[in-house]
Structure 1
Amino acid sequence: MVTLIASTGLAAVVSVVSLTLTGGHAGGPPLEWGAGPLTVDSLPRVPYVAHRGGAREVPENSMSGLMAAFRRGTAQVLDFDTRVLRDGTPVVFHDATLNRTTFLGGEVRGLDAGEWRNVRLRPRDRLPGSWRAERPPTVAEVLDRLGGRIVLMLEAKDPHGLDRLASLIRARGLTRSVFVNTNDPEVARRVHDLGLLSQLWRSARQLRTDRPGLWRSYVDVLDVDIGARDADLTRAVRSGIPRVWAHTVVTPAQRDRALSLGCDGIITDAPGRLARHPVRGPGTVTAAPGR
């Protein structure tokens, strides 16, 4: 069941816009690719990831937010969350319910693709800039618009939709351009077995007892909580997993700590803010990357 969240006068002041989604088409690559898609091999030594598009700077998991983060160039990877609708359509959304970020209420899985077209995101008042309500995109739309132009990271919030996600990624030739993220090591193994790039995130609590070395044969990115203890982050860095990226970083001090402990990627809600502050460490000051 989907319910409307009412607010006095809200409907009168909200401007609902339709997205014009260019690039990409069924059965072919996005027109922006040129000779071929951008892959993980193009990433710098320390990539910056715009978490949910950079949720402190843009509306999270929105097409306008992802496009703004792409155009600003302060991150080399764009992250977004995925859920699965009643009819199996993968969509870009974080929560299991619509209540927090849209004008509706109810479960995401209760909708089909036709009903999804009526959902509108509700931008937070405290975001910088001016943002209008918009329909949250499907995963196919984001892959068609941005796949191959920048490395993407999607979290599979509903693992039962993993086969459908894999099909969408494969059909567009993006198996080396998209990380598929999960908190479950067994789902990460499935991602790897499907021929995709697997990413495993772990909380500070989980990292206290984790043995990350056990995952090195099938995890491409270990995504570690910036709130974890130094010893736990160091153990992750020494696990043999090729990439260890810290989440969710919001201050320059958090970033600098993660880098000093050996993490080689920064997942952040505020890529623009971090880009304005040089990295500071023992005896070194370097600029945060831009594009």
Structure 2
Amino acid sequence: MVTWIAVTGLAASMAWAASVVPPVPLEWGAGPLTVDALPRVTYVAHRGGAREVPENSMSGLMATYARGTAQVLDFDTRLLRDGTVVVMHDETLNRTTYLGGAVRGLDRREWQGVRLRPRAALPGSWRSERPPTVAEVLDRFGGRIVLTLEAKDPRSVGPLARLIRARGLARSVFVNSNDPEVARRVHGLGLLSQLWRSARQLRTDRPERWRSYVDLLDVDHRARDQDLLRAVRSGIPRVWAHTVLTSAQRDRALALGCDGIITDAPGRLARAAQRGARPWRA
């Protein structure tokens, strides 16, 4: 059952975001953009860049893509009761929409009535909009920029694999989980597996055990130096640090060998880099 919450003070429409025409990437003529095109240090817009745009929204993803401050767009996924995979972080609608209740209680038709509630603290003006389905995001951005999606529900791995493979995006999309067994399953389906770990988990993790099936290790930047170094030296091809908000956090992660920065504020970090942020020193 979905509980209605009163709608007050809708943000003004951000019409320009809806009309943005994404630039054509260099690889586009040769086929979809893949992970092979990522730079030595990669910037990832977490939930689309949740400190700068409405999280997990189509307009937010479009704006971040158009700004060009991240090479990867990240979003979260959940499963509706009819098997439709949608873009949403929480189990419930309460925090980010004008509705309440469990996401899994809706079907695709009911999903059409959900409207996101942009945070008042966000810069700029944003309209209320329906959160997208995963298929819509893949159709909009697939092959134009690398994507990472977190499978909040392990049961969604099969449907996600079908959506990704049907579009020829197996080398363009990372599927993320906190569970090594889910990562193993993702790898077995021929997809790129991403495994995220908290600072607490990294204290006892032995990441080298996962190198045969984890393509990307997503580590908490708050972990101890020795834990981040162990991750970097594990043999896993990519190690990216989350969720980074400041230049100092970024510089420490890079100095310890991480080759990717997952951030809610890709624009802010890009501006700091252009100004020449001071390097972190141990």
Give me the TM-score of the superposition, normalised by structure 2: 0.92
Cα distance, 1:282–1:187 mapped onto 2, change above 3 Å: closer
Residue 186 of structure 2 is aligned to residue 153 of structure 1? no
- Alignment partner, residue 242 of structure 1: 237
> In the alignment, residue 193 of structure 1 is paired with which amino acid?
G
Following superposition, the deviation at residue 192 of structure 1 comes to 0.2
1:262 and 2:257 matched? yes
Once superposed, what is the RMSD of the aligned Cα atoms?
2.2
1:36 deviation in Å?
A: 1.1
What is the aligned partner in structure 2 of residue 2 from structure 1?
Answer: 2
The one-letter amino acid of 1:176's match is R
Kindly state the Cα deviation for residue 16 of structure 1 after the two structures are TM-superposed: 8.2
Residue 117 of structure 1, aligned match among 97, 112, 117:
112
Q: Which runs of 4+ in 1 moved over 3 A?
A: 12-23, 32-35
Q: What amino acid sits opposite 1:144 in the alignment?
A: D
TM-score by length of 1: 0.89
Query: 2: distance between equivalents of 1:227 and 1:198?
Result: 22
Match of 2:268 among 269, 273, 282: 273
Residue in 1 aligned with 2:24? Answer: none
**1:55-114 deviation digits (Å, cap 9, x = unpaired):** 000000000000001000000000000000000000000000000000000000000000
Alpha-carbon separation, structure 1, partners of 2:40 and 2:68: 16
Corresponding position of 1:134: 129
What is the match of residue 87 of structure 2?
Answer: 92
Cα pair 2:20 2:66 within 8 Å, conserved: no
Aligned residue pair count? 272
Matched residue of 2:278: which SS?
strand
Structure 2 CA distance for aligned equivalents of residues 77 and 209 of structure 1: 29
CA contact (8 A) 1:248 1:268 kept: yes
User: Contact 1:224/1:244 (CA < 8 Å) preserved in 2?
Assistant: yes
Cα shift at 1:226: 0.7
Q: Does 1:62 align with 2:60?
A: no
Output the CA distance in 1 between the equivalents of 2:20 and 2:189. 28
| Cα distance between partner residues in 2 of 1:176 and 1:246 | 21
SS in 2 for 1:75: coil
Match of 1:42 in 2: 37
What's the offset of the Cα at 1:280? 3.4
State the 1:34 CA deviation. 4.0
* Distance change >3 Å, CA 87–CA 21, structure 1 → 2: farther
Relative to structure 1, is the Cα distance of residues 56 and 211 closer, same or farther in structure 2, using a 3 angstrom cutoff? same
Q: 1:139 to 1:251 in 2, by over 3 A?
A: same
- C-alpha distance in 2, partners of 1:280/1:235? 25
Give % identity.
78
SS in structure 2 at match of 1:181? strand
